[in-house]
Each structure stands twice: as C-alpha cells, then as structure tokens.
C-alpha cells in the first residue's frame, strides 16, 4: 500500500476544474463525468481490486472508510487542497462514486 500514496494526485489534478463545476451543479441534480479506463490503467494495475469507489463527505470531512482506495483518498486530497472547493464543501453532504464503467457520479445536498 505504501507505493500507492499520492499515485493518483496528478490524475485528479488534471480534472479539478471540471469536478469543481460538476460539484456546484450537483446541488441542482446528480452529475456524471465519464472517465477513461485507459487513463486509470496507465497509472496502476488494479484489475483484481477494481477502480470503483465511494467517497462520502459531510461538511468537508470524509465520513466513510476509504480503506484501501488510493483513488478515493487522492481525489479527496485534491478536493481539500483546492481552496474554492474546500469552502464550498462546508455545509454540504457530498457523495462521489465511480463504478466499474468509469462514470464518476457526483451528488450533493445542502445541510440545514
């Protein structure tokens, strides 16, 4: 697991502006971003464990166990490092997941 740390940071960094827009739009309705299987495979071979993940963020903090998902941990790191997104996450409940079809689904609601 040690060699997985930060492996996906540059990948997610490339898409941060698109993800930022989709996150903001996700308040009005679920957003989907089609990702490329090839790009994930170029970073690392996860054939056995797969690339799918669930990331749940409430008020800017991860609430689910990311365990062995370097992909999800690095996505959260990139989101947290972006000041605009970090501010936007406050007062929101956000779910980001990706299944084995490489579609990134973004859902969010405003907390009371």
Q: Domains of the chain: which residue ranges?
A: 2-110
pLDDT for 1 equals 43
Measured from the Cβ of residue 35, the count of other Cβ atoms closer than 10 Å reads: 16
Distance CA(24)–CA(92), nearest Å, equals 11
pLDDT of residue 4 exceeding 70: no
Q: How far apart are the first and last CA of the chain?
A: 38
Residues constituting the chain: 112
Distance CA(36)–CA(14), nearest Å, equals 13
Give the model's confidence band at 85: pLDDT under 50 very low, under 70 low, under 90 confident, else very high.
Answer: very high
48 compared with 112, residue with greater pLDDT: 112
pLDDT for 40 equals 85
pLDDT for 33 equals 96
Q: Tens digits of per-residue pLDDT, 32-82? A: 999 998 888 888 766 666 789 999 999 999 999 987 788 999 999 999 999
pLDDT of residue 98 exceeding 90: yes
């Amino acid at each position: 697991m040690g060699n997985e740390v930060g492996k996906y940071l540059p990948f997610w960094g490339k898409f941060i502006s698109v993800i930022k827009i989709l996150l903001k739009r996700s308040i009005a309705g679920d957003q989907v971003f089609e990702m490329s299987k090839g790009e994930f495979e170029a970073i690392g071979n996860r054939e056995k464990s797969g690339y799918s993940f669930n990331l749940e963020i409430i008020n800017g903090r991860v609430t689910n166990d990311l365990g062995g998902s370097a992909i999800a941990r690095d996505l959260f790191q990139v989101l947290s490092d972006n000041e605009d997104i970090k501010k936007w996450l406050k007062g929101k409940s956000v779910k980001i997941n990706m299944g084995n079809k490489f579609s990134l689904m973004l859902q969010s609601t405003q907390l009371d």
